[in-house]
Amino acid sequence: MSRLFAGTPWDRPPTCDRCGRPESECSCPPPAPEVKRIPPDQQTARLMTERRAKGKLVTVIAGLDAEGNNLDELGARLKTACGTGGTVKDGRIELQGDRLQAAERALQAIGYKTRAGRG
Could you give the domains of the chain?
40-116 (3.30.780.10)
Q: How confident is the model at residue 94 (pLDDT cuts 50, 70, 90)?
A: very high
Consecutive H or E run containing 60: strand 57-62
pLDDT 10s digits, 53-73:
899 999 999 999 988 899 999
Of residues 58 and 11, which shows the higher confidence score?
58
Between 9-18, 20-29, 43-52, 91-100, the lowest mean confidence (pLDDT) is in 9-18
Q: What single DSSP character describes residue 31?
A: P
Look over the chain and give the mean of its residue pLDDT values, rounded to a whole number: 88
Of residues 31 and 11, which shows the higher confidence score?
31
CB 84 within 8 A of CB 78: no
pLDDT(85) > 80: yes
pLDDT at 14 (0 to 100): 77
Query: Cα–Cα distance between 54 and 45 in angstroms, integer?
Result: 26
Q: What region, left, alpha or beta, does residue 10 occupy, with left being phi > 0 and alpha being psi -120 to 50 degrees?
A: alpha
pLDDT at 25 (0 to 100): 86
